[in-house]
């Protein structure tokens, strides 16, 4: 079975149902058997889609075995590593192909995003939010394990994006989010090409432009215990340049629309 949007191979699994968690992996063999049961304990009725980018450490094979033992787990196999944004886009396409999927969660596999926080984020959806951001930078949120340099880069990145794009949200670079299907389905995912920080910023920005009700819920973001980080300086630079392109691209679109006048 293949994903029609991307041609990626997907392992058949359970019928369509409710809440889906999209979990990108690359060399997460140590974390995967720990994070999946933790997510299942926090959201027992949820389905998980593991999106593996051809991990050389065998993460994809392990995911297949877990899926064969748990009907709530599916696996999307991609040919190789193309970045976090590409993995999420492929996962979103796959989940949106399930007509009964109503809520989509995106989170990391390395326990930086605590599965115990999932009920709180879901409660914000139940209260009326269209998008929920797990936020490190609202009251109650924190990054206790980060050195000063990393904390400064992340905070300044969010501040830069907020200022340039005119957004009110304090944490624009985080990746722990919950989406109503109706909002995620309105975003033109095929137009998104950024990865890492840039992907997270652009997704929230486009949801904001669509008029989505976006809530920030405090989370404690801890450094991964097992494995190594995939973040790089190139991804940070990409995000900063993308923010500028978004801002001036939007201004150009507005100018063209004004010049065209009423239809």
Domain of residue 97 covers 9-252
- Cβ atoms of 173 and 157 closer than 8 Å: yes
Q: Give domain status of residue 258, yes or no.
A: no
Assess if residue 259 is contained within a domain.
no
Q: How many CB atoms lie within 10 A of CB 251?
A: 10
> pLDDT tens digits for the chain (263 residues)?
344 444 555 444 444 449 999 999 999 999 999 999 999 999 999 999 999 999 999 999 999 999 999 999 999 999 988 889 999 999 999 999 999 999 999 999 999 999 999 999 999 999 999 999 999 999 999 999 899 988 888 888 889 999 999 999 999 999 999 999 999 999 989 888 777 778 999 999 999 999 999 999 999 999 866 555 544 456 677 777 888 888 877 543 433 333 444 44
Residue 2 falls inside a structural domain? no
* 159 domain-assigned: yes
Q: For residue 54, what is the domain's CATH number?
A: 3.90.550.10
Residue 190 lies in a domain: yes
Residue 260 included in any domain: no
pLDDT on residue 50: 98
Closest by CA to 169, choosing from 161, 177, 179, 181, is 161
Domain annotation covers residue 73: yes
For residue 256, what pLDDT is reported?
37
Q: How many CB atoms lie within 10 A of CB 180?
A: 20
In a domain, 4, yes or no: no
Quote the number of domains for the chain.
1
Determine the pLDDT at residue 129.
Answer: 98
Q: How far apart are CA 27 and CA 54, in angstroms?
A: 9
């Amino acid at each position: 079975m293949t994903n029609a949007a991307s041609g990626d191979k997907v392992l058949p699994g359970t019928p369509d149902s409710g809440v889906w968690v999209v979990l990108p992996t690359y060399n997460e063999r140590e974390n995967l058997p720990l994070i999946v049961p933790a997510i299942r304990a926090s959201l027992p009725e949820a389905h998980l889609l593991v999106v593996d980018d051809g991990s050389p450490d065998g993460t994809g094979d392990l995911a297949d075995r877990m899926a064969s033992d748990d009907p709530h787990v599916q696996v999307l196999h991609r040919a190789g590593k193309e970045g976090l944004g590409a993995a999420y886009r492929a996962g979103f396409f796959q989940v949106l192909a399930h007509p009964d999927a109503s809520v989509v969660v995106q989170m990391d596999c390395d326990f930086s995003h605590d599965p115990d926080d999932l009920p709180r984020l879901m409660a914000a959806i139940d209260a009326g939010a269209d998008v929920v951001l797990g936020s490190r930078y609202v009251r109650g949120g924190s990054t206790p394990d980060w050195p000063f340099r990393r904390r400064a880069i992340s905070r300044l990145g969010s501040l830069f994006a907020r200022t340039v794009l005119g957004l009110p949200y304090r944490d624009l670079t985080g990746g722990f989010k919950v989406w109503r299907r109706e909002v995620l389905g309105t975003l033109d995912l095929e137009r998104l090409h950024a990865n890492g920080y840039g992907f997270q910023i652009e997704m929230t920005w486009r949801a904001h432009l669509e008029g989505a009700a976006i809530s920030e819920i405090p989370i404690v973001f801890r450094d991964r215990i097992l494995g190594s980080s995939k973040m790089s300086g190139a991804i940070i630079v990409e995000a900063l340049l993308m923010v500028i392109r978004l801002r001036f691209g939007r201004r150009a679109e507005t100018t063209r629309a004004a010049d065209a006048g009423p239809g």
